[in-house]
């Protein structure tokens, strides 16, 4: 912790007894938080604990029903986002609020464009945006580039640049590393350290506890809309204690036990041979047997997500074949893949998998609508009945299937996506970052669900940026680097250091020619 964040320093921000109620829901039931200048204050809690509501109160998007907020020693009312920004509070949401049709510079200075005598000065905006991107370690992100053409990681950097441009004294970062690779996370941490070194405070929200150890100074834990602990030292507080505070229980076994390994002579459900997609991956081959969980480990940009999208038919391969239960799939045909029993839970569930404004039952039944046609019309009653059965089986909370899916926590939204494919009775399930943005308690539930599906004979392929997750969940692992498979082995024959070594060295000499069961 910097000198600016020393305990004797009066807090930059204080929140006392914050209460926020929505119809039928008490989202915050009394939250206390204090943040000092120059510190990284980590906000932890399960999905649904109240973190998102709290930061929206702090950002001026929600007004508290009770409690008080003090900023620099004076009580304030954050009536709208503009008031919060004017005070020096900037928020970077997990779901980035960029305008994809505008340029990088336009997004950075949106609503605050540089002008003179009422005339816009785009050259000045471009120069200032370029300086901010260089400060973030991304000079290759050009100010005139349209934001919609950038990768998710680059868009995250644009959002951070916008917060920096506001001369904020407090920056709230909600899961900022979710779309970043290891190198980009380190750059982000360098930026955060630079900010706190100049007295800026950061409220950092992440489900990755190892990040909290690296960058955090103090921790506040929320549970059920209340503060259950605050001011905990980030580096010294044991992980078990943090998890117990978050969940109210001790989670000793995150990963369910593996079932008996699938028989080697069992006919594969999924066969991939020489699959290639120009510019992303080449000559990828593997099989997955019934009841097997195959993990794909690799860095962001290695081609792992594109492999899943190609298997699902969302991308048309330039070479290779995909077979399900012995039958070849038509290239680039999602409908054919779904009909063959293939389901995909994509990385960006909110934008790629869910209709956020529609009810839960409509999302669950989306891929099985033909089952609910009665007399030529879609039966909402039949949809709701089937969706409710799936929701209850997955312990979806709440189990009101008429509720809009956008109102659910991240973990419960992921359960909706999985429920869709359970209802469809898919035989091959492709999961891209299945626990991204999901808290530790909901993670264990999703892990158990994946294992139950495998036990029923489903062939599961899992992509995850978290190597321990791949190793703990999968039966067998493919290591992907630079668009190529550089190693294949049983999960229990690998460890995190070996996998990291393989993905960092790519397909070069250091990777060697590791085949199944041959791991140095």
Q: Record the tokens describing residue 142, joined without a space.
A: 């050009």
CB atoms within 10 A of CB 478: 24
What pLDDT band is residue 487 in, cutting at 50, 70 and 90? very high
Contacts of 392 (CB under 8 A, 6+ apart): 399
- pLDDT for 249 beyond 60: no
- pLDDT for 285 beyond 80: yes
Rounded CA gap, 360 and 373, in Å?
18
What is the chain's length?
Answer: 520
- pLDDT for 517 beyond 60: no
What mean pLDDT comes out for the span 20-37? 89
Which has the minimum average pLDDT: 9-23, 91-105, 334-348, 356-370?
91-105
Contact 282, 484 (CB under 8 A): yes
Q: Record the tokens describing residue 241, joined without a space.
A: 């204690």
- pLDDT for 307 beyond 80: yes
300/413: higher pLDDT: 413
Measured torsion, CA atoms of residues 193, 194, 196, 198, in degrees rounded to the nearest 10: 160
**Averaging pLDDT over each range in 55-69, 184-198, 296-310, 365-379, which range is the top one?**
55-69
What mean pLDDT comes out for the span 7-29? 84
| DSSP bridge pairs for 343 | 429
- pLDDT for 258 beyond 80: no
pLDDT for position 5: 47
What mean pLDDT comes out for the span 455-459? 91
What pLDDT band is residue 504 in, cutting at 50, 70 and 90? low
What mean pLDDT comes out for the span 323-344? 94
* Rg (alpha carbons) of the chain, rounded to whole number: 24
50/274: higher pLDDT: 274
What pLDDT band is residue 328 in, cutting at 50, 70 and 90? very high
- pLDDT for 113 beyond 70: no
pLDDT for position 511: 38
pLDDT for position 491: 92
What mean pLDDT comes out for the span 347-362? 88
pLDDT for position 46: 72
Which has the minimum average pLDDT: 99-113, 154-168, 252-266?
252-266
Residue at token pair 């960058």:
215
Contacts of 180 (CB under 8 A, 6+ apart): 153, 156, 188, 300
386/465: higher pLDDT: 386
Cα angle: 389, vertex 225, 170; to 5 degrees: 125
- pLDDT for 145 beyond 50: yes
- pLDDT for 3 beyond 60: no
Of the candidates 370, 306, 303, the residue with the CA atom closest to the CA atom of residue 344: 306
What number of helices (H) and strands (E) belong to the chain? Answer: 17, 24
Helix runs in 323-371, H state only: 334-339, 349-352, 360-364
Please report how the helices 122-135 and 152-165 are oriented relative to each other, as an axis angle in degrees rounded to 10: 110
pLDDT for position 298: 85
Of the candidates 489, 481, 484, the residue with the CA atom closest to the CA atom of residue 517: 489
Of the candidates 354, 491, 463, 496, the residue with the CA atom closest to the CA atom of residue 412: 354
Three-class secondary structure of residue 363 per DSSP: helix
What is the value of pTM for the model shown? Answer: 0.59
Which region, left, alpha or beta, applies to residue 382 given φ > 0 means left and ψ of -120 to 50 means alpha?
alpha
Measured torsion, CA atoms of residues 38, 44, 47, 48, in degrees rounded to the nearest 10: -90
Contact 283, 276 (CB under 8 A): yes
Mean predicted lDDT score pLDDT of the chain: 85
- pLDDT for 97 beyond 90: no
Domains in the chain, CATH or no CATH each: 1-88+168-252 (3.40.50.300), 101-164 (no CATH)
pLDDT for position 261: 63
């Amino acid at each position: 912790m910097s000198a600016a964040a020393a305990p004797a320093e009066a807090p930059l921000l204080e929140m006392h007894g914050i209460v926020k109620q929505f119809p039928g829901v008490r989202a915050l039931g009394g939250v206390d938080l204090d943040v000092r200048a120059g510190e990284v204050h980590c906000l932890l809690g399960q999905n649904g604990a109240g973190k998102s509501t709290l930061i929206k109160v702090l950002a001026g998007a929600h007004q508290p029903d009770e409690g008080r907020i003090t900023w620099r020693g004076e009580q304030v009312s954050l009536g709208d986002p503009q008031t919060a920004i004017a005070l020096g509070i900037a928020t970077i949401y997990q779901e980035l609020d960029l305008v994809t049709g505008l340029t990088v510079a336009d997004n950075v200075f949106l609503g605050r464009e540089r002008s003179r005598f009422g005339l816009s000065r785009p050259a000045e905006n471009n120069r200032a945006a370029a300086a901010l991107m260089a400060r973030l370690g991304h000079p290759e992100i050009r100010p005139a580039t349209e934001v919609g053409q950038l990768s998710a990681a680059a868009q995250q950097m644009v959002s951070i640049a916008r917060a920096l441009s506001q001369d904020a004294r407090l920056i709230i970062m909600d899961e900022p590393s979710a779309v970043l690779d290891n190198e980009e996370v380190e750059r982000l941490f360098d930026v955060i350290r630079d900010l706190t070194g100049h007295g800026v405070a950061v409220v950092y929200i992440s489900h990755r506890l190892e990040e909290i150890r690296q960058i955090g100074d103090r921790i506040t834990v929320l549970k059920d809309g209340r503060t259950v602990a605050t001011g905990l030292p980030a580096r010294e507080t044991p992980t078990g204690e943090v998890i117990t505070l978050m969940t109210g229980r001790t989670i000793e076994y995150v990963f369910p036990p593996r079932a008996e390994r699938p028989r080697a002579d069992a006919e594969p459900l999924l066969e991939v041979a020489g699959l290639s997609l120009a510019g992303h991956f080449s000559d990828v081959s593997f099989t997955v047997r019934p009841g097997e969980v195959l993990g794909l480990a690799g860095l962001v940009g290695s081609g792992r997500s594109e492999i899943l999208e190609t298997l699902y038919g969302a991308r048309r391969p330039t070479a290779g074949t995909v077979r399900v239960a012995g039958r070849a799939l038509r290239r680039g045909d999602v409908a054919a893949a779904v009909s063959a029993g293939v389901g995909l839970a994509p990385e960006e569930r909110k934008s790629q998998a869910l209709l956020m404004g529609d009810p839960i039952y409509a999302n669950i039944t989306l891929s099985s609508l033909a089952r609910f046609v009665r007399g030529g019309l879609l039966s909402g009653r039949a949809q709701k009945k089937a969706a409710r059965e799936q929701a209850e089986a997955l312990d979806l909370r709440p189990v009101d299937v008429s509720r809009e899916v956008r109102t659910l926590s991240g973990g419960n939204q992921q359960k909706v996506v999985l429920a869709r494919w359970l209802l469809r009775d898919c035989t091959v399930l492709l999961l891209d970052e299945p626990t991204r943005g999901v808290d530790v308690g909901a993670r264990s539930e999703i892990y158990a669900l994946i294992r139950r599906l495998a036990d029923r004979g489903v062939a599961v392929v899992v992509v995850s940026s978290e190597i321990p997750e791949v190793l703990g969940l999968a039966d067998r692992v493919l290591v992907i680097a630079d668009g190529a498979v550089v190693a294949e082995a049983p999960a229990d024959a690998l460890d995190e250091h070996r996998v990291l070594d393989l993905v960092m060295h790519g397909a070069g000499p250091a990777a060697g020619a590791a085949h199944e069961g041959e791991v140095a």
